[in-house]
């Protein structure tokens, strides 16, 4: 099953990066406040970037790489993906 690396934009314009192998249920958890602690109270959330990876290991490495980017670099990644 493929893994998805995603970036959410929160209502306060901050960005959250995560991974999942089932996007719809993960977004539902975020919306209910049962997802990541960071996104609680920051909804509504908007998916602004996704990319697919074949393995969880690869997705975790990519997530870490994206999280290490500066905000400007993340926004550039999102723009280039559109």
> For the segment 47-65, what is each residue's pLDDT rounded down to a tens digit?
999 999 999 999 999 999 9
Torsional class of 33: left (φ above 0), alpha (ψ -120 to 50), beta (otherwise): left
- Confidence label for 1 from pLDDT (cuts 50, 70 and 90): confident
Q: What is the pLDDT of residue 36?
A: 87
Q: What percent of the chain has pLDDT over 70?
A: 100
Three-state secondary-structure class, residue 56 = helix
Q: How many residues does the structure list for the chain?
A: 82
Question: Right CATH number for 3-81 from 3.30.70.120, 3.20.19.10, 3.40.1440.10, 3.40.50.150?
Answer: 3.40.1440.10
- Confidence label for 24 from pLDDT (cuts 50, 70 and 90): very high
Which has the higher per-residue pLDDT, 5 or 34? 5
Cβ contact 43:31 at 8 Å: yes
């Amino acid at each position: 099953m493929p893994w998805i690396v995603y970036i959410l934009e929160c209502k306060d314009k901050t960005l959250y990066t995560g991974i999942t192998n089932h996007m719809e249920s993960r977004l539902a958890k975020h919306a209910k406040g049962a997802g990541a602690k960071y996104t609680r109270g920051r909804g509504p959330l908007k998916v602004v970037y996704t990319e697919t990876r074949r393995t969880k290991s690869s997705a975790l490495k990519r997530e870490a790489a994206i999280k290490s980017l500066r905000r400007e670099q993340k926004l550039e990644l999102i723009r280039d993906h559109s």
